[in-house]
Structure 1
Amino acid sequence: MVCLFVVCGTNYLIAQNISNFIEIKGTVVDETSRNHLVFTDLVIKGTNISTVTNMDGEFLLKVPTNHIDGMVIISHLGYEKKEIEISSLKGKVKITLKQAITTLDAVNLIARPSNAKELVLETLRKKGALYNNDNTLMTAFYRETIKKRRKNASLSEAVVKIHKQPYTNYRKDNIELVKARKNTNYNRLDTLALKLQGGPFSNLYTDLVKYPEFIFTEEDIDDYEFSFGESTNINKKLVYVVNFKQSSFIRDPLYFGKLYIDASTLALTNAVYSLNVENKELSSQMFVRKKPRKVDVHPTKANYRVNYRIQNGKWHYAYSNILLSFKVNWKGKLFNSIYTLNSEMAVTDWEIHESKFAKLKDQMLRPSTIMSDQASGFSDPEFWGEYNIIEPEKSIENAIAKIQKQLKKP
């Protein structure tokens, strides 16, 4: 999760027949408040085909024709799960979810661990029994945006194959690039360009179960304070909420946030956390690899989210989101610049892979990779074909429309 600085110049639902799949668009909202539900899971029942709602609560799900008589499962943390027949998803529809009422009865109160820190340690120790321990080939969609204040400066999108290693071994996962498109407005970036080093790898490393060393290990876990928050619910199952933050005597920037742990299995189901950026100098050292001498750069925000999904009794990485914000001050200039980097990756399908290692191919990405500019894909409305993607929210739709207009100009 490293940032590199270098010097350089609709709320409706439609089913559409497209070859061997139909395309479904829609919005998921709270049944009472009608607020849009962000990061909601939608899975075709009996398969690993899935997607997730965007920041506007909207989704896009491509259903193979051999599953159009099936069901789609919609689930969101703190809400009751809903199953809907795919064939019924017609016309202008909003899917509503009902908040789940979470009560801790006497049995649950007795069963809940008394020590939040020990619960977290036990969760990390149980990864071999709770998470997928087969070599898995995952199809995922990745999106990365860079904004200068509110204006889009760069948009990257890609379909990748994640060669996911078993959770019990220490080999790192590999990522294979399938297809991608990117457009960058270097004029809008002035003389400074921000790029997220590693691209999809940065999101993959938010998988705390596979890569706990990026947040805390058994060696440095004593630098954190843990406490229980109000329990919640997912799919009618009790979920413990553990709050964590760095101890007051620790000077180095560490993380704070919430861990959501399934009460029955002690599996980590979700995590939402941020880096403490109060110390500008030390937090800058964690992100800035290279910068001009006449510029002062420091992060103002570093937020992370990772979601897991269960299938056949085993949990696996499903979605992650990273939001980084930086303030850039040029010496001698009156006004500063605010840059925001947002990236997300959603697993849309997966299968058990017999091969133990990913073969080294030309399309294999490296953690140091920065995606190259390839704007041509924006001119093709069917660029993604049958691959599931995260539905772009309004601001990204506007950015794509502007890119398409620019490409049409002679």
Structure 2
Amino acid sequence: MPDRPRSSPRPLSVVVAGGGTAGHIEPALALADAVRRLRPDATVTALGTERGLETSLVPKRGYALELVPPVPLPRKPSKDLAALPWRILKSVRRTRKVLRAVDADVVVGFGGYVALPAYLAARTPGTRMPVVIHEANATAGLANKVGARHAAAVAAAVPGSGLAGPVIGMPLRRAITTLDRDALRAKARAHFGLDPHAPTLLVFGGSQGARSLNEAVAGAAAELGRAGIGVLHAHGPKNTVEVDQVPGAPPYVAVPYLERMDLAYAAADLAICRSGAMTVAEVSAVGLPAIYVPLPHGNGEQRLNALPVVEHGGGEIVEDADLTPERVVEMVVPMLTSGERLSAMSAGARRTGHADADETLARMVLEVVEGGDGATGTMGGVARQEENER
């Protein structure tokens, strides 16, 4: 890659690495949008894999997508672990080609299967450029831990991730951070066929749904209906739910997938959902009270994601094994029939949100590229040396 000073009129070229899941892709795209608002001449290229959600999400948002071989990082000894060096080498080579082809100035990583090769490719001789890292989860992933050692700047969504750097929140779409739930409520409920006046529960378990949530809430349908509560339930494209609709009760609307999450948030007064980093960030940003049900497996990070919101009074946590139809009725009915409690929870949720995280991160990226110290106030020694070499 030719060495050029950033004073050149050449348009800024940013590469974002966050493929695999929506939790990695959405903040990357929110950052891309913010960069384009601040620097309309900038080009943004996303790295992804052929099996990730980015193959549909990135083109829809109007950004170029370059596919690289994924590098999942096994946590236990296995055949996959033995093959890891070759997989990394193959992916780094492909990523280097992309960085050179787009004349990249900076790599911004969000973790996931394409982040590690992007960090390594940005460090190789002949392709050296600064790296900026954003950690979305309460516990940093392995790729970001490795990349952060030589990053020019690091930021985190929540405290305690294990990475040094400012806590700026999660970069989110402007459609979410500027959402006025009250103003959109009538339109949103009409869109989904919900009762315009009944207190409404939103249920979703990620893009594929969650069986335990589906069974518990569907099993509570009759009692919720008798309490005058409407339900909007996204059960996942591979799942179905059967509900006992009470005559005359507000509709229980079950759909495979929610294309318009902004309208779903506006239609609801309370949510039951998982507590992935992106879900918690969006739900709290719009001020929607929630009952969070962390995944019952993994390293417990989903529970950690929800804790700050719960501590501020914006939600409650229920363990997956404890979520039964009876527990749903026991929690949901008192919440949705108390406007005062919902208002207090909504205010608590909003206190944990960061509506400007997208632009905060974008400014960090621009300052790093321009040779400044970035929003962290300090720039890594290796990164500063690289900038001087360019």
TM-score, length-scaled by structure 2? 0.26
Q: Higher helix proportion, which one?
A: 2
TM-score, length-scaled by structure 1? 0.25
Q: Higher strand proportion, which one?
A: 1
Higher relative contact order (CA 8 A, sep 6+): 1
